[in-house]
Structure 1
């Protein structure tokens, strides 16, 4: 596999001297105390993506999101004005979870004209206003106008729904995203509504799984069995270096070159890829999506494989050169467990062949994800032994340095601001 030249000014890590080159500690991934600090300092202050507007196709559409990292459940709804709003999923009467089906801890979605509590039938409209109280005359000085649902700050960018749990967000969503991300405006995210979704509990700290997708140093080794033996051997011997890394505020980007599988030697392809005209990089037939925004493929890779935009703290938008995208979410549940969600988005298939091609790409992604997750559980168990507390990172792992350093900076900033409060 071809190696690509590094920028003229030096290695990627040296391009960001504030990150240093020393070995790193993973105490932030094994410490319950640090986890409690980052819950407050990061997840209760940063803008968090919780879904897309396609999940709310009409007025009254809603979905719930369980967010253990901030100890709450929220309901996200499209109101009668067509706006997207978010509320804590709790009834103002006795604290029952307001929206759920048979299992209170499971997420749900649907359509309604109002929300009705299962416990005592208090009702709320789509703007969170309390509209009905069963036997209202039994209550003392009840002013329904004071007891609506508790709102959560909510904003939408390019169809992505974000929430913020701070009393007042320190930045607008757009300012938080910054130019590297907002330069993606105009990408046809809304046209990609053929959707596959995977969800799994991973027994590793959330940052460790993010780390797995911030470098491709591991790819020829860890994923060798996903490729024909001849190709795997060549790739493992040559190694792989991504041609472009970028850091913008708290966010990161890694871009890679593309392998046009259909142009490879047939002996280097899997038979199923020839049959389905698809593979890990997606369907071979690339849809015409029009002119791409300036933020896509900023390194002008040719051939171009993908851009992985990693939005702090736990959200990834990965745009594939073959005309589709996927997202990753990493939702912490403890210092050494988290929920991983992977969602793939394609244009609607026009033929059965296009549908099968999308399904093969989705299955290929799932297999790669399982391999990464399995390795990380092994990583977590051993770094918890604390036999070693200094780990070497190569130049390709520059974004790993940034994630851990940025998380620590948010914790330090929060602790400084709240000291003595």
Structure 2
């Protein structure tokens, strides 16, 4: 895929990326168990996957575990004595028991079943009755490492034996244009999880375009957006390798119409667009709004395969889509704010998190029916318009990765 963006002529986006084509697309990649089996190895075992942020591993000895169904893996992330965050397979080298569950802080990792003790760098430190083993060297039985790296406070792993790219190379210039965004200052977090009866890409598609907004979100958008003749569109789309970006204009002025707001939003001056007042977090990087949209509102950075970072300026959302089968997935959603300085600010944050959750679940509520209808397998060609370029891109990139893997 292209790794460069040039402003498209006459407002056209799709035609500016000719490798995407303009014809109808198939969603067979979202209903096929056979494709899912390939996708697990071709995509999720080879791409860099975000598991957490550094704030979740704040001190030496901090650890957390993550089960990743799509790769049939259980991992431990550990904050080492040298300050480095490492990842290991969560499996004791004795007889395969999990070394840890959940999260916490310990000076070493101890398998509850066998008593084998591992240092924070994964080396085997102690074995009960070591003399009873045969030709045994502790240096041969450390935890199995997983490639791990950090960008902008986001902790990524790669399960491939030899990753084709470093994390920064994989992310590319469009995503790393956020290097200077102050993620580390936005540490007040609200999160929730939804288990969905749909393929992971079907939910990702819901946040890749705003064409559906006037029809689906009628209670939470003003009249000028609800009008089908208004021609509501996004201001900027951008592709960089396997990653995607959509930015929209926005101003709170037109979002304050009382006829579409909940009373709690008016009372707290917070809601769908977040708190109406946010702390000054300093200069924002140019990479946040590469299209130069004025007035800028939201930029959604979609990092292949399953991470989205939606930035609203003074706060941001984080989404992860974790496949659990060919037609189910786990959706993780996180809202990050500057730590509240007053009780009122705390209430503003909680209201925003709840309203945003409802907005997302309006999309999620359509997914089971969409998946079921696609699995009827009556239609295999679906037209997508110029504002749905990112939908076209995600499905093409996924197919490209699978085909390249098969060719190898």
Asked if these proteins are the same fold (TM beyond 0.5), I'd say: yes
**Counterpart Cα distance in 2 of 1:115 and 1:62:** 9
Question: Structure 1 residue 138: deviation in Å?
Answer: 1.6
Residue 311 of structure 2: which of 319, 323, 326 is its match? 319
The equivalent residue for 2:106 is: 112
* Corresponding position: 1:133 with 2:127: yes
The equivalent residue for 1:104 is: none
Structure 1 residue runs of 5 or longer lacking an equivalent are 1-5, 101-107
**Counterpart Cα distance in 2 of 1:263 and 1:289:** 22
The equivalent residue for 2:185 is: 191
Specify whether residues 233 and 256 from structure 1 end up closer, same or farther in structure 2 by C-alpha distance, changes over 3 A only. closer
Q: Give me the CA root mean square deviation.
A: 1.5
* Corresponding position: 1:85 with 2:86: yes
**Counterpart Cα distance in 1 of 2:294 and 2:380:** 40
Write out aligned runs for 1:17-36 (5 A).
Answer: 17-36=18-37
Specify whether residues 225 and 165 from structure 1 end up closer, same or farther in structure 2 by C-alpha distance, changes over 3 A only. same
* Corresponding position: 1:341 with 2:342: no
* Corresponding position: 1:243 with 2:225: no
**Counterpart Cα distance in 2 of 1:334 and 1:159:** 29
**Counterpart Cα distance in 2 of 1:18 and 1:133:** 57
Specify whether residues 361 and 232 from structure 1 end up closer, same or farther in structure 2 by C-alpha distance, changes over 3 A only. farther
**Which is further off, 175-184 or 254-263?**
254-263
**Counterpart Cα distance in 2 of 1:180 and 1:201:** 30
Matched residue SS, 2:292: coil
For residues 271-296 of structure 1, the C-alpha deviation after alignment (integer angstroms, 9 at most, x for no partner) is: 22221111111100022111111211
The equivalent residue for 1:3 is: none
* Corresponding position: 1:223 with 2:217: yes
For residues 376-398 of structure 1, the C-alpha deviation after alignment (integer angstroms, 9 at most, x for no partner) is: 11110010010111111111110
For residues 75-134 of structure 1, the C-alpha deviation after alignment (integer angstroms, 9 at most, x for no partner) is: 00100111100000000010011112xxxxxxx111011111111111111011111111
**What's the TM-score once normalised by structure 2's chain length?**
0.95
Residue 202 of structure 1: which of 169, 186, 196 is its match? 196
Question: Structure 1 residue 9: deviation in Å?
Answer: 4.4
The equivalent residue for 1:360 is: 351
* Corresponding position: 1:177 with 2:171: yes
Are the counterparts in 2 of residues 60 and 77 from structure 1 also a CA contact under 8 Å?
yes
Matched residue SS, 2:396: helix
Specify whether residues 159 and 233 from structure 1 end up closer, same or farther in structure 2 by C-alpha distance, changes over 3 A only. closer
Question: Structure 1 residue 267: deviation in Å?
Answer: 4.2
Question: Structure 1 residue 232: deviation in Å?
Answer: 7.6
Residue 369 of structure 2: which of 370, 378, 394 is its match? 378
Specify whether residues 131 and 196 from structure 1 end up closer, same or farther in structure 2 by C-alpha distance, changes over 3 A only. same
**Counterpart Cα distance in 1 of 2:224 and 2:369:** 23
Question: Structure 1 residue 55: deviation in Å?
Answer: 0.3
Specify whether residues 285 and 10 from structure 1 end up closer, same or farther in structure 2 by C-alpha distance, changes over 3 A only. closer
Are the counterparts in 2 of residues 220 and 239 from structure 1 also a CA contact under 8 Å?
no
The equivalent residue for 1:284 is: 276
Matched residue SS, 1:57: coil
The equivalent residue for 1:103 is: none
* Corresponding position: 1:45 with 2:50: no
Structure 2 residue runs of 5 or longer lacking an equivalent are 1-6
Question: Structure 1 residue 263: deviation in Å?
Answer: 7.0
**Counterpart Cα distance in 1 of 2:193 and 2:255:** 33
* Corresponding position: 1:66 with 2:67: yes
**Counterpart Cα distance in 1 of 2:17 and 2:194:** 34
* Corresponding position: 1:270 with 2:259: no
Matched residue SS, 1:93: coil
Matched residue SS, 1:310: strand
Specify whether residues 221 and 316 from structure 1 end up closer, same or farther in structure 2 by C-alpha distance, changes over 3 A only. same
Question: Structure 1 residue 168: deviation in Å?
Answer: 0.9
Matched residue SS, 2:155: strand
**Which is further off, 256-265 or 128-137?**
256-265
Question: Structure 1 residue 299: deviation in Å?
Answer: 1.7
Specify whether residues 304 and 10 from structure 1 end up closer, same or farther in structure 2 by C-alpha distance, changes over 3 A only. closer
Question: Structure 1 residue 8: deviation in Å?
Answer: 3.1
Count how many residue pairs are aligned between Structure 1 and Structure 2: 402
**Counterpart Cα distance in 2 of 1:387 and 1:268:** 38
Matched residue SS, 1:295: helix
**Counterpart Cα distance in 1 of 2:337 and 2:53:** 14
**Counterpart Cα distance in 1 of 2:116 and 2:365:** 45
**Counterpart Cα distance in 1 of 2:212 and 2:105:** 44
Specify whether residues 47 and 121 from structure 1 end up closer, same or farther in structure 2 by C-alpha distance, changes over 3 A only. same
Question: Structure 1 residue 269: deviation in Å?
Answer: 3.8
